[in-house]
Amino acid sequence: MSGTPDTTAGPAAPPTESGATMGGASGGRRRFWSARRVPAGLLALVLLVIAGMFLYDIAAVRAHRPGMSWRHDLARQLAERHLDDVWVLTGAAVAAALGLWLLALALTPGLRSVLTMHRTHPDVRAGLDRDAAATVLRDRALEVAGVQSVRVAVKRKKTDVRAVSHFRDLDDVRDDLTAVLEGAIRGLGLARPSPLTLHVRRPGRKGR
């Protein structure tokens, strides 16, 4: 590694936009909700199997045939085991954890990989994938003279950019990168553009 210290640009405040451009005070900023197809499908499958087993058992009893043995074993276990039994506590803990997980899925939007964009029309919502946004910012950063490589991570609270400069003064490279990347972030048209956090350093001995 070179003896030159890293230089860091602090977070920059995102530009403010008018309510008309944002599509309302909160409507243009809401995240996209995930359909939760996999959890919903698994839950529906489990409920279908359980309901089918109970329905088959009820039909067998109604037809004067012996019920399924697992129902008798389950009724006996529930009657004999105390509430402080380890298996009862374990089953209750698992059921509570699954219930909390389902509540979290129902109450949270999900789709963290999709960034909400400005709503210019009330009937149209647009989103931008985080990886696509990071690729755009990376390509713009590589256009700055002196930049050898760039890593970009677009997060909810910040846009983290780590660049390696193999020539030019680090402060000059940092200033140019800050100007280019802040303009590129504004150009993405995001409803909530995250502040820029920029790190610029010299390459290591092996060019890393």
Which tens digits make up the pLDDT trace of 118-161? 888 888 888 889 999 999 999 999 999 999 999 999 988 899 99
Tell me the C-alpha to C-alpha distance, in Å, between residue 79 and each of 50, 72, 74, 100, 114. Answer: 21, 11, 9, 27, 50
Provide mean pLDDT across the span 72-100: 86
Q: Answer yes or no: are the C-beta atoms of 2 and 207 closer than 8 Å.
A: no
Q: Report the C-alpha gap between 133 and 180 in whole angstroms.
A: 14
| Count of CB atoms situated within 10 Å of the CB of 133 | 21
Q: Report the C-alpha gap between 17 and 19 in whole angstroms.
A: 7
7-19 burial, b at 16+ Cβ within 10 Å, e below that, comes to: bebeebebeeeee
**What is the structure's pLDDT at 28?**
53
Provide mean pLDDT across the span 65-76: 79
Residue 23 has pLDDT above 70, yes or no: no
**What is the structure's pLDDT at 26?**
45
**What is the structure's pLDDT at 59?**
87
**What is the structure's pLDDT at 66?**
78
Quick one: pLDDT band at residue 110, thresholds 50, 70, 90?
A: confident
**What is the structure's pLDDT at 182?**
94
**What is the structure's pLDDT at 36?**
81
Residue 7 has pLDDT above 60, yes or no: no
Provide mean pLDDT across the span 184-191: 91
Quick one: pLDDT band at residue 11, thresholds 50, 70, 90?
A: very low
Q: Report the C-alpha gap between 55 and 48 in whole angstroms.
A: 10
Provide mean pLDDT across the span 80-90: 86
Q: Report the C-alpha gap between 87 and 60 in whole angstroms.
A: 29
Provide mean pLDDT across the span 173-191: 93
Query: Pick from 119, 155, 117: which is nearest to 134 by CA?
Result: 155
